Amino acid sequence: MVANRIAVASTFWARFRGLMGRRALGPGEGLFLADNSIHMFFMRFAIDAVFVQGNDAGDGWTVVGLRAALRPWRGLVMPVRGAAAVFELEAGTIARTGLAVGDRLALETAEPRPA
């Protein structure tokens, strides 16, 4: 498991805002953006970015690019050719999990917690 709490930025404004304004990502947290480029403007912390192609409807996502420890306030991150989306994850996730280009990822909906 790469992360256990992934928020999905599904609207234009959610994608635009991304992680700006947050102080950090906790262990297992991340953001999924249906976009092939990101920026680090107004970010307060480093992140790992996992660029993927494909879809989560059946076959899942294939990793096509990895950018580890992107530093805050470093501007635009160049788009990754062939990427359709990106997972923004806590810095160190790529190293911790051993993610590599060609790996497959899937989003799974969490089961509701009992009341």
Number of domains the chain contains: 1
pLDDT surpassing 90 at residue 34: no
Q: Cβ distance 2 to 29 under 8 Å?
A: no
pLDDT digits 0-9 by tens, 5-31: 999 888 888 887 888 878 899 889 999
Bridge partners of 52, per DSSP, are 63, 85
Q: Cβ distance 96 to 66 under 8 Å?
A: no
Bridge partners of 32, per DSSP, are 8, 87
Q: Cβ distance 23 to 45 under 8 Å?
A: yes
pLDDT digits 0-9 by tens, 82-113: 999 999 999 999 999 999 999 999 877 766 55
Q: Say if 10 falls within a structural domain.
A: yes
The number of residues in the chain equals: 115
- Rounded to whole angstroms, what are the CA distances from 52 to 9, 58, 68, 76? 15, 14, 14, 18
Write down the residue that tokens 């294939």 correspond to: 62
Q: Say if 108 falls within a structural domain.
A: no
Q: Say if 115 falls within a structural domain.
A: no
Q: Say if 83 falls within a structural domain.
A: yes
List the CATH number of the domain containing 57: 2.60.120.1140
Q: What is the pLDDT of residue 50?
A: 97
Q: Say if 59 falls within a structural domain.
A: yes
Q: Say if 110 falls within a structural domain.
A: no
Cα(60)–Cα(8) distance, integer angstroms:
15
Could you list the residue range(s) of the whole structural domain that residue 93 is in? 5-102
pLDDT surpassing 60 at residue 115: no
Sign of the alpha-carbon torsion through 84, 86, 87, 91: positive
Q: What is the pLDDT of residue 56?
A: 59
Q: Say if 80 falls within a structural domain.
A: yes
Q: Say if 35 falls within a structural domain.
A: yes
